[in-house]
Amino acid sequence: MKITTKINLITTAWILFMLLAVNAVVYFSFMKITVNMEDGELFQKANYLINEINKEDSPAVIKEKLTPYLTNQSFIRIVQPNSKIVNQVTNAPKLAAKIKPQFAVEKGTQRQTIRQKHGEEQMAIVRVPIQSKGQVVGTLEFGEKLVGLETGKELLLSILAFCTILGAVLSLLGGRWLSNLIMKPISNMINTMEDIEQSGVPKKIIIQHETKDELQKLAVTFNRMIDKLEANLEKQRQFISDASHELKTPLTVIKSYADLLLRRGLKNEVVAHDAIESIHSEATRIQKMTERFLDLADTESRNHLETKFIHLVSLCENLFKQLKSAYKREINLHYEDPDISVFADEGKLKQAIIILIDNAIKYSTDTIDVYLKDKEQLTSITVKDYGIGIPAREIENVFERFYRVDKARSRETGGTGLGLSIAKNIMKQHQGEIIVKSSEGVGTEVELFLPKQKGKFLSD
């Protein structure tokens, strides 16, 4: 069932229910008030009459006294203690005959429904005792057809029925208007989403009116999501283009040396040796590059970390031992507290530290200092070298993918320009931060900040 139909049906059913409840209250209140009023009036008349007739004794005179009090379709009679009528005046003998006379020692009212050929008639009867010398000698019965009540009831019922039908129609129309109001932006969104599904191209929802309601919020959130998606797609496109560009150079070199080998064969041993060496070095470069691509993809897409408490000093000591023997470089570890520990993914953290040490090794020749500091809310790992440094205007770019300050030099050192991007991603995954401070010709200091407790320290 469509949402509009549902809204329509539910609102109409609810309004109908409310109207019926209100109608019932109005109807019953009206009946009660009217009946009470009529009873009151009858009592008043009866009391007055009793005062009048007690003075007279002759039945003929009594009748004469009673007659003027007759209203349309009523009777007045005096009933003896043995329930016999002594005196009766009426202008509705048929009705009067249907009401049994009753002797009553106390005041009382009675409501009686009389079935007639053309329908039912409601009669109101009041009984007032007639007293003489402290004794109840008879009862004055005053009966009257409730004409006002009948006509009032019919009128009220027709007004209520009309109002209920009008209410139901208005609620149906209102429900339709309301559901259209709600559904229009939703249909708009559905159309846009279907468009995106069919064309595969991200598209934004057009917000026509600033309604500042939840639906506009939904559209704005959707548009923001599309913005992010577009940015990611653009990033992906850029990455593919940059990566192919990066791969193109070594592949061209490999192809040209392979061509050379094909043309000249292995006759000239020196040329052949040079060619094979170059092919090997470029292939190694491609291999390194693809490994970096995979690392980048891994740190960018997966947010899953295998975190645990890591003893930082032993991690660094073990790592530097391997690096020192591999690169034959001096790496000094400095720390005050030998028990510093961090809550992190060991593999990823190692990867980030290796990236920094690798840069320090590539872009400096002197010793490398590594400082471990334990602060109140965070732990920092600083890798400091005394090498070529980075020009101040370039510092902000070094985290961009494939960015290298000196492309020619990077080719020599085999850099792909992805190391710092990967390190930044790793820090982001840990909700940490990476900061580069550098002075051209003096050296570079790269700091990794890790929050003490997960979530306490947020990057950018």
Ligand X SMILES: Nc1ncnc2c1ncn2[C@@H]1O[C@H](COP(=O)(O)OP(=O)(O)OP(=O)(O)O)[C@@H](O)[C@H]1O
Residues 256-295, mask of contacts with ligand X (x by CB under 6 A): ------------------------------------x---
Binding to ligand X by CB under 6 A, coded x per residue (else -) over 301-340, reads: ----------------------------------------
User: Choosing among ligand X, Mg ion, none, which partner's interface includes residue 400 (Cβ < 5 to 8 Å by kind)?
Assistant: none
Tell me the C-alpha distance between 34 and 201, whole Å: 73
Nearest to 52 by CA among 143, 134, 140, 127: 140
Compute the distance between CA of residue 69 and CA of residue 279 in angstroms, rounded to an integer: 131
- Binding to ligand X, residues 101-160 (CB under 6 A): none
320 sits in which H/E element? helix 312-327
| Contact criterion met (CB below 8 Å) for 388 and 364 | yes
- Residues in 352-381 at the binding interface with Mg ion, rule: CB under 5 A: 359
Position among 146, 205, 243, 388 found at the interface with ligand X (CB under 6 A): 388
Instruction: Count CB neighbours of 66 within 10 A.
Output: 22
Euclidean distance between CA atoms 281 and 265, whole angstroms: 20
Phi/psi for 424 (5° steps) reads -65, -45
Which of 250, 417, 432, 451 lies at the binding interface for ligand X (CB under 6 A)?
Answer: 417
Stretch that binds ligand X, among 21-29, 78-86, 367-375, 400-408 (CB under 6 A): 400-408
Smallest distance from ligand X to CB 326, Å: 15
Contacted by 417, from Mg ion, ligand X, none: CB < 5 to 8 Å by type: ligand X
Q: How many residues bind ligand X (CB under 6 A)?
A: 26
Q: Is 419 among the residues that bind Mg ion (CB under 5 A)?
A: yes
The DSSP annotation for 142-185 comes to EEEE-HHHHHHHHHHHHHHHHHHHHHHHHHHHHHHHHHHHHHHH
Question: How many residues form the binding site for Mg ion (CB under 5 A)?
Answer: 2
Q: How far is the CB of 380 from Mg ion (least distance, A)?
A: 20
In sequence order, what are the residues at sequence separation of 6 or more whose Cβ sits closer than 8 angstroms to the Cβ of residue 64?
A: none
387 is an interface residue for ligand X by CB under 6 A:
yes
In the bound complex, what is the minimum distance in angstroms from residue 420's beta carbon to Mg ion? 6
Query: 317 near 333, Cβ under 8 Å?
Result: yes
Q: How far apart are CA 116 and CA 95, in angstroms?
A: 9
| Strand order, beta sheet including 135-145 | 85-90, 74-79, 135-145, 119-132, 108-116
> How many CA atoms are closer than 13 Å to the CA of 313, on its beta-carbon side?
9
CB 304, min distance to ligand X, A: 23
CB 74 within 8 A of CB 148: no
Q: Select the span of 48-56, 111-119, 224-232, 413-421 touching ligand X (CB under 6 A).
A: 413-421
User: Among the candidate windows 20-28, 185-193, 208-216, 399-407, which touches ligand X by CB under 6 A?
Assistant: 399-407
Does 440 interact with ligand X (rule: CB under 6 A)?
A: no
Q: Which stretch binds Mg ion (CB under 5 A): 69-77, 184-192, 320-328, 413-421?
A: 413-421
Quickly tell me which residue has 């992906």 as its tokens.
236
**Considering the complex, what minimum distance in angstroms separates the CB of residue 361 from ligand X?**
9
416: contact with ligand X by CB under 6 A: yes
Residue type at 323 in one-letter notation? L
419-438 residues near ligand X, rule: CB under 6 A: 419-421
- Report how far residue 187's alpha carbon sits from residue 306's, in angstroms, rounded to the nearest whole number: 43
Q: Does 12 bind ligand X (CB under 6 A)?
A: no
Closer to Mg ion by Cβ: residue 201 or 408: 408
Is the Cβ of residue 374 or residue 447 nearer to ligand X in the bound state? 447
Establish if 385 lies at the interface with ligand X (CB under 6 A).
Answer: yes
438 binds Mg ion (CB under 5 A): no
DSSP string of 30-56, one letter each residue: HHHHHHHHHHHHHHHHHHHHHHHHTT-
Q: Residue 148 corresponds to which tokens in the numbers above?
A: 């006002």
Give me the residues that bind ligand X (CB under 6 A), please: 292, 355, 358-360, 362-363, 385, 387-390, 398, 403-406, 410, 415-421, 444
Give me the residues that bind Mg ion (CB under 5 A), please: 359, 419
